[in-house]
Amino acid sequence: MEFKKIVPLALLCWATTISAQKDLTSQLYETYENFKENSIGKRRIKHADIQPLIAEFKSNPKFEVQKVGQSIQGKDLHLISIGTGKRNIFLWSQMHGDEPTATQAIFDILRFLDAPEFQEEKEVILSNLKLHFLPMLNPDGAEVFQRRNALGIDINRDALRLQSPEGQTLKRLRDSLDADFGFNLHDQSKYYNAELTEKPATISYLATAFNYEKDINEIRANAMKVIVFMNNIIQKYAPGQVGRYSDDFEPRAFGDNIAKWGTSLILIESGGYRNDPEKQEIRKLNYVSILSALNTIAEESFQTIPTEDYEKIPHNDRKLFDLKIQNVTYELLGNKYILDLGIIRNEVDLKDHNNFFYRGNVADQGDLSTFYGYETFDAEGYELIAPKMATVESVKNPMSLLQNGVAFVKTKLPAEAAFTELPLQLVHQDFELKPMNLQPGINPTFFLKKDGVITHAVINGFLMDLSKPLDEQNKGNGLIYRK
């Protein structure tokens, strides 16, 4: 009888926690634009972009700013701290140079902590906790938008050997702070989905294991509880778009070792979100969920959350394409076959690593019925048609070319550029268009025909409906083929 009374009480506390947080979460979401750091609105941010922001917080008496290390190439690493509480919370971002979403969110959170609004809520957080932020742990990688550091190693696999100065800094800070909670902030591929669904894993979480057996002690259980709390927040804004990262123990990884060393480690991976190539909505979700998590940690209200709910979060899977074309008819050697095509659009950095263009790729073909697309086109009854080539002095009417099945155009090429804003493939005068051999790895450029009429073009992996104006469609970019 005693047990029956206790269980409903625990559930009531958990429900009360969620209800109380919903109001704060809604307010954070609705007022986000008031605190967003607009100077870093693109993913390819550099060390130089955040130095004025760090200098601003250094001159602000609310914050403590310390230089805590340097990268291999001599770029300073800073720790920004605020709060008077006895419990340390350590948050670091961009351990991988091409994973900047949480770096942006950290500066949004710092703006919020500095602002006059939400005084009561901030008092709860800052009187109970001391927050420590290390943004952009891998500035050398960020400079060239690559995962690894200047030594060519993955810092997140350097927790034991500690060869990198960035890894040494992270270990030294972890040991000196002895934080109750650590937030290890990453990006993951946009091609991850929540298992068995077509929805992208917009946010994925992990309470890292501290041994091969994946045991759950109090430290790991606390991380699980806070993750369940954060998952409930994200469900309000991206329902069904949360995944659970694999908890296989990796003995070289910082997250796994930090959990072993006594900090409740929360890994956050920012994945994909429809029509959000710069991940600005995901940045906002990081801001809202992390601030809400800090509030529940400060209040200790997460303690009533059942750890069993952690296992209810679906696993990460990787079964998304940018474009899935299903049931298309493809003729080969006089025979017709029904195929699905899974197309991805790879980002290719420009020389300055400040921007990029897309290069499409057929990632897979065949029966893709267990896969999904950000965009899916059912091509039942459509025939896949190889592209043609034309020679023109200048491209004045791309739609007319496309409607006639022309995708490759011999014309005067712009100097040096590797891509074109036109929905066409521009080629040099000696270019020879080879017969199409539809295979994984080729660039997806072809047409779809139905009832004898070309209705759609796929140029460099972007699908266009030829019955609609091009300026109303996501036509991406074409490529330029030079000698």
Helix (H) / strand (E) containing 105 = helix 101-114
The per-residue pLDDT for 16 is: 52
The per-residue pLDDT for 277 is: 94
CA dist., res. 136 & res. 95, Å (int): 7
- CATH 3.40.630.10 range(s) for the chain read 12-317
CA 60 centroid distance within chain: 31
pTM: 0.93
Average predicted confidence (pLDDT) for the chain: 95
**Amino acid in position 444:** P
CA dist., res. 143 & res. 45, Å (int): 8
Region 310-314: what's the mean pLDDT? 97
* pLDDT tens sequence across 204-226: 999 999 999 999 999 999 999 99
The per-residue pLDDT for 15 is: 52
Region 50-75: what's the mean pLDDT? 98
* pLDDT tens sequence across 371-383: 999 999 999 999 9
Question: Residue 149, class by beta-carbon neighbours within 10 Å (0-12 exposed, 13-18 middle, 19+ buried)?
Answer: buried
3-state class of 61 per DSSP? coil
- CATH 2.30.40.10 range(s) for the chain read 320-481
Which string of DSSP letters, residue by residue, matches 190-208? TT-EETTSSSB-SEEEEE-
Would the pLDDT of 411 be above 70?
yes
The top-level CATH class assigned to 320-481 is mainly beta
For strand 193-194 and strand 316-317, is the pairing parallel, antiparallel, or unpaired? antiparallel
State the fold for domain 12-317: Aminopeptidase (3.40.630)
Helix (H) / strand (E) containing 8 = helix 2-30
* pLDDT tens sequence across 261-303: 999 999 999 999 999 999 999 999 999 999 999 999 999 999 9
> How far, CA to CA in Å, does 441 sit from each of 192, 220, 360, 387?
20, 42, 9, 17
142: how many CB neighbours lie within 10 A of its CB? 28
Would the pLDDT of 17 be above 70?
no
Q: How confident is the model at residue 416 (pLDDT cuts 50, 70, 90)?
A: confident
* pLDDT tens sequence across 388-406: 999 999 999 999 999 999 9
Would the pLDDT of 6 be above 60?
no
